[in-house]
Chain A
Amino acid sequence: MQFKTIKEINAGLVSKKFSAEELIKYTFDLINENKDLNCFISLDEENALAKAKKIKVKKDSHLLSGIPIAQKDLFCAKGIKTTCGSKMLENFYPPYNSKVVEALDAAGSICVGKTNMDEFAMGSSNETSFFGNVHNPWKKGFVPGGSSGGAACSVAAGLVPAATGTDTGGSIRQPAALCGLTGIKPTYGRISRWGMIAFASSLDQAGPVCRTAEDCSILLDAMSGYDSRDTTSLNLDPTNTFADLSKPYENLRIGIVDEFNIDALSKESQTLFNESLKVFESLGASIHKISLPNINQSVPTYYVIAPAECSSNLSRYDGVKFGHRSLEAEDLESLYINSRSEGFGDEVKRRILIGTYVLSAGYYDAYYKKAQQVRRLIKNDYEKAFKEVDLIVSPTSPSEAFEFGSKGTQDPTELYLEDLYTISSNLAGLPALSMPHGFVNGLPVGIQLTGNYLEESMILNFANRFQQSTDFHNAKPTFEDFQ
């Protein structure tokens, strides 16, 4: 069952080729054989098996019934360790379930464990995790992308057919691209943030990482929907993207962003990009040049807003109530200083410092307020563009997966540029998907489709048609260098 999609596994369960229990046992065998990938922080074999034993998958059961999935380790799961990839929450056992965990449990899927991630979702290579680097299944010693690196790795290695992720600046799409998978960040507010440990509240959005657009639509439909516990949750019914896969979206107009300067990419990347455009045209789409004049301000804008929000969101980790408490503390101030100094890693500290700086008196107007104004301009650019086109296409990330320690060790901003193409849809709150569209140096790369607000159905429909005419999503890593 390794490398099978949700649809394929569901067919096996319904036809009783194997039971849910056998499937879960098999899944844990696979996970244990592949421990050196380091994609899980914790496993939950006991509960998973107990749940699998009770499940009888029938024809009319939910497609997710009995399907093993992996949860990113920032979705609170009652009684199950939820670390956010940080020493700060090394021993945190939440007393409640996040909406995403509730929803996927209710659909009948079986959570096998919690996946590794960049600490508090801050990173693009999974190298900031307190629990160690995650290998890209396509090449040992190479990053899987981040922050949902463990999630992408677990699916790319075929251990589970689907995983949840979160995307604040590209954290679903970039690892999906680097691991040869399909992942979607829905419209901001589609999926409740209740129980999802916050990095930057106005940008954070959950979403699925799967092998195909079709599987992504199954998960998205199950995860989305209004939740009164999150005031930023959109007051809409759950999405219906799976049913909409069969809808005819004819004559789509697809925009290429002038400012993204595709010519600056490597020859191989350019070739792949242009070939994909040809596939799009073969599917009846037309290609148009569009302009997003302020798009090149995305990265600096993001790196003011996200750290500002994170500096406040992470204030609750003070060693007083939960999380790491320093044993060296002598008074209240040293309790704060030592607990936070010991509990947080370098990248988290860096962003807390940036955020604290941009919000401080005297700098607020120059940084935070200005960034919010630019964010508005970027939104306006998109709103204008979507009057001319239905979807916008771009690469997902500037390059393929890279070696551990090769980027950002001297200059952290080098890694920040990984998110060049992905960040603007978070700033604007737009839905965007990455899907595999070829290989560079033997490593998968992704192409990104961004849609207008609430147009997840259109995006997934078009991606699904692309995958019906291409083969990239079926490629599997060989694990040669892992033996």
Chain B
Amino acid sequence: MNWECVIGLEAHVQLSTETKLFSRASTSFGKEPNTNVNLVDCGLPGVLPTVNKNAFYKAIRFGLAVDADINQTSLFDRKNYFYPDLPKGYQITQMELPIVSGGKVEIEIEGTKKIINLTRAHLEEDAGKSIHEGMAGTGVDLNRAGTPLLEIVSEPEISSAKEAVAYMKALHQIVTFLDVSDGNMSQGSLRCDANVSVRKKGDKELGIRTEIKNINSFRFIEKAINYEIERQIDVIESGESVTQETRLYDSIKNETRPMRSKEFANDYRYFPDPDLLPVMISNEEIEEIKATFPEMPKDKFLRYQSEFDIPKNDAQIISSSKNLATFFEECMEDAKDAKLLSNIIIGDISSLLNKENIEITDSKLSTKNVSELVNLITEGVISGKIAKTVLEETWDSGLGPVEIVESSGLKQIDDDDEIERIIDQIISEHPDQVSAYKGGKDKLFGFFVGQIMKATQGKANPASANKILKDKLDN
């Protein structure tokens, strides 16, 4: 039997505003529980929300980037439900008139481009967090309560887990480049709910869908959706039908399972929040936002090639990540060789980042240290091989390359006389190999280079060493 799946995603993007959506409490991450909380966040009797215009500006930036309609009058509604981490007993969100309507996001799968249309993007406040560990009962931490979220709703146009990941990566790129969000998934700045259904290929009607809640990494999005597709196909093929329900993904067991019905069986009783007047956005405000639009990945990709003459592939990789692009551009203020720099970034640095699964902004690497490293190579102070060792030490300790090179004696040996002495020594110690080489075994040249590098701990200037060695052996 041939099946196809239909996926719609609701992405929640935490906006990088200094303060919350309806209060002036800080949004900073990782603070002691209940310290980023003021009267409004607690929902005390008598308090009232006030709107953080910056959150609107960020939502509008996103809307403009995806070619959506900006609703210059937008409304806030209340979504009513009881939960301990929801202090007011309702969440303020946008139901009737969201700030952003429509829009489209382009994704690319194995060279094929596809447009995913957006239904809408609306502002809402995040809830707090219930804490069950380390205490007798349940604790509530309201630090996150009221943090501005942009919920981006796609049309059900995504047809595989891979597309879903590509779509989320595209969103991640947009929101990070526009400084709409820090995009930090491990801190929950970008997460999504996936609506998944399957149907027989060619069917017009949509199948019954399930919603997988709160998936917070690209890897889990792919695994959760694939699991859910398989599960739904199994259910239907065994003659039963899929139950419309909300499910949670368990990343340890790699499975989805239904949430208790009480956790979602709500009539949210949406109605316009009478505490908040409609929010008006002027043409001038929109123009101002347009004027501060940063350079986007596509433009960076072209500029990196024309201005810095770096390879297309390097330009592609660096320009597609806000963090790498910023890092690269800052390094270029001091670094003397763009190609060398881009090579180090997509090579050694990227593999270190992947190994520890972190972003460059979370590492000890500074742009000053990396440009210093590049310049040490360019000036011939160290070899590319030594550079790798120095980079690893900078990565671990945060010390500067110049300091590392000096204190560990890693400086390249450029003195031809010294190199010659070392080569003479090696030749005299290996008479058999010398005669074999002279007898036509060219490959043994590499053996001698290896011996030189061994004797100098890799510090011999490779060009000089090669030239001197060749002279000695060939004459």
Contact = CB atoms under 8 A, between A and B. Distances in A.
Interface of A: 74-76, 82, 84, 89, 92, 94-96, 98, 193-198, 200-202, 228-232, 308-309, 311-312, 314-318, 320-322, 332-333, 336, 356, 359-361, 364, 368
Contacts of B436: none
B449 to A, nearest CB: 72
Contact of A202 (B49, B140, B262, B274): B274
A231 B44 contact: no
A231 B48 contact: yes
30 contacts: A94-B44, A94-B46, A96-B39, A96-B44, A98-B46, A193-B46, A193-B48, A194-B47, A195-B47, A229-B48, A230-B48, A231-B48, A231-B275, A231-B277, A232-B276, A311-B80, A311-B269, A315-B88, A315-B89, A316-B43, A317-B89, A320-B84, A321-B42, A321-B43, A322-B44, A359-B269, A359-B270, A359-B271, A360-B267, A364-B269
Nearest to A89: B45
B390 to A, nearest CB: 55
Interface string B111-153: 0000000000000000000000000000010000000000000
A356 B82 CA distance: 13
A228 B267 CA distance: 33
Given A316-B88, A321-B140, A364-B270, 13 more contacts: A74-B46, A82-B45, A84-B45, A200-B274, A230-B50, A231-B276, A232-B277, A315-B80, A315-B82, A318-B89, A321-B43, A322-B45, A359-B270
Contacts of A76: 44-46
B45 A194 contact: no
Contact of B80 (A84, A229, A359): A359
Nearest to B140: A320
B57 interface: no
Contacts of B411: none
Interface in B30-53: 39, 42-51
| In the A-B complex, the 6 residue pairs with the closest CB atoms | A315-B89, A359-B269, A202-B274, A201-B274, A195-B46, A197-B45
Contacts of B277: 231-232
B256 to A, nearest CB: 24
A193 B48 CA distance: 8
Contacts of A92: 45
Contacts of A320: 84, 87, 140
A232 B275 contact: yes
Contacts of A95: 39, 44
A76 B88 CA distance: 17
A82 B88 CA distance: 18
B90 interface: yes
A300 B54 CA distance: 40
Nearest to B276: A231
Secondary structure of the B contact surface, majority rule: loop
A312 B275 CA distance: 11
A196 B262 CA distance: 34
Nearest to A323: B45
B214 to A, nearest CB: 20
B145 to A, nearest CB: 11
Contacts of B89: 312, 314-318
Chain A interface, DSSP helix/strand/loop, else mixed: loop
Contacts of A231: 48-51, 275-277
Interface of B: 39, 42-51, 78, 80, 82, 84, 87-90, 140, 262, 267, 269-271, 274-277
B50 A196 contact: no
A142 B220 CA distance: 68
Centre residue among B88, B269, B275 by max chain A CB count within 10 A: B269
Contacts of A195: 46-47
Contacts of B45: 76, 82, 84, 89, 92, 94, 197-198, 316, 322
A312 B80 contact: yes
A202 B140 CA distance: 30
A131 B379 CA distance: 86
B259 to A, nearest CB: 15
Nearest to A308: B271
B82 to A, nearest CB: 6
A242 to B, nearest CB: 27
Contact of B90 (A74, A194, A315, A356): A315
A274 to B, nearest CB: 39
Contacts of B276: 231-232
A194 B46 contact: yes
A74 B271 CA distance: 25
B313 to A, nearest CB: 52
Contacts of B80: 311-312, 315, 359
Nearest to A336: B82
Contacts of B270: 359, 364
B46 A197 contact: yes
B66 to A, nearest CB: 29
Contacts of B39: 95-96
A194 B48 CA distance: 6
A317 B84 CA distance: 11
Contacts of B82: 315, 318, 336
- The CB with the most chain A CB atoms within 10 A, among B45, B267, B277, is that of B45
A95 B88 CA distance: 17
B417 to A, nearest CB: 78
Given A96-B39, A312-B78, A360-B267, A196 B49 contact: no
Contacts of B48: 193-194, 229-231
A189 to B, nearest CB: 10
A421 B268 CA distance: 34
Nearest to A360: B267
A89 B42 CA distance: 16
Nearest to B45: A197
A132 B157 CA distance: 61
Q: Which of B47, B49, B87, B90 has most A Cβ within 10 Å? A: B47
A374 to B, nearest CB: 16
A310 B275 CA distance: 12
B261 to A, nearest CB: 13
A330 to B, nearest CB: 12
A141 to B, nearest CB: 32
A321 B43 CA distance: 9
A338 to B, nearest CB: 13
Contacts of A309: 274
B94 to A, nearest CB: 15
A332 B85 CA distance: 12
A151 B100 CA distance: 47
Q: Which of A231, A361, A364 has the most CB of B within 10 A?
A: A231
Nearest to A314: B89
Nearest to B81: A315
B278 to A, nearest CB: 10
B44 A312 contact: no
A312 B271 contact: yes
Nearest to A84: B45
A316 B42 CA distance: 9
Contacts of A82: 45
A434 B96 CA distance: 39
Contacts of B47: 194-195
Nearest to A320: B84
Nearest to B42: A321
A195 B467 CA distance: 84
Given A95-B44, A96-B39, A321-B43, A228 B84 contact: no
* Most B C-beta atoms less than 10 A away, residue of A96, A228, A315, A332: A315
A359 B80 CA distance: 10
A50 to B, nearest CB: 25
B279 to A, nearest CB: 9
Contacts of A356: 269
A308 B274 CA distance: 11
Q: Which of B46, B89, B271 has the most CB of A within 10 A?
A: B46
B90 A228 contact: no
A368 to B, nearest CB: 6
Nearest to A361: B267
Contacts of A74: 46
A317 B267 CA distance: 19
